[in-house]
Amino acid sequence: MKYIDEYRSKTLAKNILNQINLISYQPVNLMEVCGTHTVSIFRNGLRKILPLHINLISGPGCPVCVTPVRYIDEIIAFSRKKEFIVTTFGDMLRVPGSTSSLEKEKAKGADIRMVYSPLDALKIAQNNPEKKIIFAGVGFETTIPTIASTILKADKEKIKNFFVLSMGKLIPPAMKSLLESKEIKINGFLCPGHVSTIIGSKPYQSIASQYHVPCVISGFEPVDILQSIYLLLQQLKNNQAEVIIQYSRAVKPEGNEIALSKMKEVFITVDSDWRGIGNIPQSGLEINDNFFRFNARALESDIEIEETLEFKNCRCGEVLKGIITPLQCPLFKKICTPENPLGACMVSSEGSCSAYYKYN
């Protein structure tokens, strides 16, 4: 299959691995900030074949995982009111809030519907004019343009019962926050492929120049990832810090200008809380004043959001920052499993804990 099989070639992978082994360098920490990269690394056994001095760290690359408990409680509060229908992507259903989850509320009778696109939620709004439809707008730059397009469509068609609870987040500010915290040494970044198809390579330039940390935008197949690691090691060996697009078959330096324009038309950047990391300046998105009538938070005077409670001993936040691996969490595989997730990192298929559980 074109653009798939050639990136799974054992011969190519072995050749790149040989080149990696020729680069003599001190121990390095390379962080991937994409859940799809995390899963691909585990599924293809890349950690096991790389030299021991190359440490791959999983960062905050799962949008469901980085959504704070407070936001989960917020959408649960809407679901408890009969006048609302809550719509959400499937991964959000089982994420634990303070005392419940959307899955548990649905079992109690709440009208909560899984959708595959914000447009599905808009269709539900058209078919249920007597109800207020809330879409849980979780996602990174990959998903946000589709949410923006849906709001624009709702505005054009004058649909008045559709609302978005914006939980969108931006990846580059989170990368900078991790570097500034200095809780863990990061020598290079494997930048997310899907996100970068939207934003391009330019937003990473300040990371390379200001922090002198090389960045490589990587594809998702094993040859992609190995080649990206090689490109990072080459830069480190030569004391360089540049942004390289390895995933050139999908990513352009300028990104997707149409998608970016829709994001800019509907959203403004705001400070935002990230699970385990805290508040990151200008890392979140909120609906701007021109489309405020679609903002679900304008309806919050009618709901009661419970006090936020974190599950004791869950170390999901430290996992997201790369400080520990899931194996170091006392709950991992003991009482926190995919069947009984106590933290968001075990719920999502892109979560680090889920990947460790399935493949490690």
Q: What are the structural domains, with CATH classification, of the chain?
A: 1-311 (3.40.50.11740), 316-359 (no CATH)
Q: Quick one: pLDDT at residue 289?
A: 97
Q: How confident is the model at residue 92 (pLDDT cuts 50, 70, 90)?
A: very high
Instruction: Please write the tens of the pLDDT for every residue from 255-293.
Output: 999 999 999 999 999 999 999 899 999 999 999 999 999
- How many other C-beta atoms are found inside a 10 Å radius of the C-beta of residue 198? 21
Percentage of residues in the chain with pLDDT exceeding 70? Answer: 99
- At residue 3 the predicted structure's pLDDT band, cuts being 50, 70 and 90, is low
- Give residue-wise pLDDT tens across range 193-242: 999 999 999 999 999 999 999 999 999 999 999 999 999 999 999 999 99
| Res. 25: pLDDT tops 80 | no
Q: Provide the 8-state DSSP code for 281.
A: E
Residues 37 and 58: their CA atoms lie apart, in Å, by 9
What is the reported pLDDT for 1? 47
- Is the pLDDT confidence value at 2 over 70? no
Predicted local confidence at residue 311, as pLDDT: 87
Mean pLDDT of the chain: 95
State how far the Cα of 112 lies from the Cα of 131, in Å rounded to an integer. 12
Please, which pLDDT band fits residue 16 given cuts at 50, 70 and 90? very high
pTM: 0.93
Report the pLDDT averaged over residues 183-195: 96
- Tally helices (H) and strands (E) across the chain: 14, 11
CA 326 – CA 276 distance, rounded (Å): 14
Q: pLDDT tens digit string along 140-180?
A: 999 999 999 999 999 999 999 999 999 999 999 999 999 99
The 3 state secondary structure assigned to the chain is CCCCHHHHCHHHHHHHHHHHHHCCCCCEEEEECCHHHHHHHHHCCHHHHCCCCEEEEECCCCCCCCCCHHHHHHHHHHHCCCCEEEEECHHHHHCCCCCCCHHHHHHCCCCEEECCCHHHHHHHHHHCCCCEEEEEEEECCCCHHHHHHHHHHHHHCCCCCEEEEEEEECHHHHHHHHHHHCCCCCCEEEECHHHHHHHCCHHHHHHHHHHCCCEEECCCCHHHHHHHHHHHHHHHHCCCCCEEECCCCCCCCCCCHHHHHHHHHHEEEEEEEECCCEEEEEEEEEECHHHHHHEHHHHHHHCCCCCCCCCCCCCHHHHHCCCCCHHHCCCECCCEECCECCCHHHCCCCCHHHHHHHHC
